[in-house]
Amino acid sequence: MTPQAEQICGPGGRVLQLLAYRPVTAVLLELARRSRRPSHFEDEYEVASTTFHQHAGELIGIGAITRRAEPGPPREVMYDLGETGAEICELIAGWLTLLRSSRRIDWKVPRRTSEAWAAGVVPALLDGPRPVPELEVTVRSAHPRLTSHQVKRLLKNLTDAGFAEREGENFAITERGRLAIGELAASARFERRHLGDDAVPITPADGANALRGTLPLIGLPEHPGGICEFVVKEKDGENGAAVAMAWVEIRDGRVVATGYGAPPQAATSWAQGTIDQWLEAVIDHRPRALQAAGRSDLSKPILDDLHAQLYKRD
């Protein structure tokens, strides 16, 4: 009997699954401008009332929209953006900057990117250009229930989105793909904040891989460089809690190498924190959430520029 293919849901996958329904993004972006009644969405976006009410319940559940009844006659039901609505609209805007113009209506792309992350395809690409057979071995060693077809499909999804590219027989992550890691982190943080037990877990390994995947985006033209080590902890002050590390080497202001685990040489500076502290430091630009030591003139500029590259794009 053929084993059942593994079902994948990666960090941020729950909220990205919700955004994959086109009516949801249309409703949220419209409510960011003004209050609306359900009939408006049916007339303007051809969203059937049953479809709207189905997703409205999910959006109300995560605080993205609110529902209120205005007294009549006639009595009218109005919807407004909820307390988490602005944050989820920022997620939509962030992903829109990365989706190719021909795919701006294809909101399955972010969800598929999350799946490729959870399956290990994106982290495997961070080791440099690799051929498909090598990628398959790496991915299926961690996820043996994944089929060869699934791995190739996930790789094709990334390539179609412009997040990966083919170089001869090898595949490599693109700059757009590295930026997408930042959007995955923001989507995962939204889940962590607002979905509670329904959020897909984030591990220290996820955090370390996200760092090494995005650090090549930075540049410090006036900086002589050094090696900075980043430590991601599951929880603060708990013995035996999971820990993962990433590192970056900068020389003459540019990134020359990154890696997972301990650096090959002694680091000149380091920063450490829990998963939530790292999300706060990079997404919200609050590096003081982290503990730092060594040369602060290296770790702080790195984190400053990483935030700018990921979340301050024009």
The answer to whether the 21-92 and 107-196 domains have the same CATH topology is yes
**Burial of 60 by CB count in 10 Å (0-12 exposed, 13-18 middle, 19+ buried)?**
middle
Residue 109: is it exposed, middle or buried by C-beta count within 10 angstroms (0-12/13-18/19+)?
A: buried
End-to-end CA distance of the chain: 52
**Residue 246 φ/ψ, nearest 5 degrees:** -140, 165
- Residue 22 in 3-state DSSP? helix
Question: Cα separation of 296 and 103, whole Å?
Answer: 42
The one-digit pLDDT tens for each residue of the chain (314 residues) are 344 445 678 888 889 988 888 778 888 888 899 988 877 777 776 666 666 777 888 899 899 999 988 776 777 888 999 999 999 999 999 998 888 765 555 778 999 999 999 999 999 999 889 999 999 998 888 888 888 888 899 999 999 999 999 988 899 999 999 999 999 999 999 999 998 888 888 999 999 999 999 999 999 887 878 999 999 998 876 666 789 999 999 998 899 999 999 999 999 999 999 999 999 999 999 988 899 888 767 888 999 999 999 998 55
- Decide the pairing of beta strands 225-233 and 269-274: parallel
Question: How many angstroms separate the CA atoms of 110 and 134, rounded?
Answer: 25
Q: Rounding to the nearest 10 degrees, give the CA dihedral for residues 199, 204, 208, 210.
A: 0
For the domain made up of 204-311, the CATH class stated in words is alpha beta
Taking only Cα atoms into account, the Rg of the chain, rounded to an integer number of angstroms, comes to: 21
Spell out the domain ranges in the chain. 21-92, 107-196, 204-311
Which letter, b or e, does each residue of 160-194 get, where b requires 16 or more Cβ atoms within 10 Å of its Cβ?
A: ebbbbbeeeeebebbebbbbbbbbbbbbbbbbbeb
The token pair that represents 124 in the structure block: 């495997």
Distance between CA 271 and CA 251 in Å, rounded? 19
Handedness of CA 296, 301, 306, 311 (dihedral sign): positive
Angle subtended by helix axes 148-161 and 132-142, to nearest 10: 120
SS3 259: strand
Q: What is the pTM of this model?
A: 0.90
Tokens 């999910």, residue located: 58
CATH class of the domain defined by 107-196 = mainly alpha
CA–CA separation, 107 and 104 (whole Å): 7
Task: State the CATH architecture for 21-92.
Answer: Orthogonal Bundle (1.10)
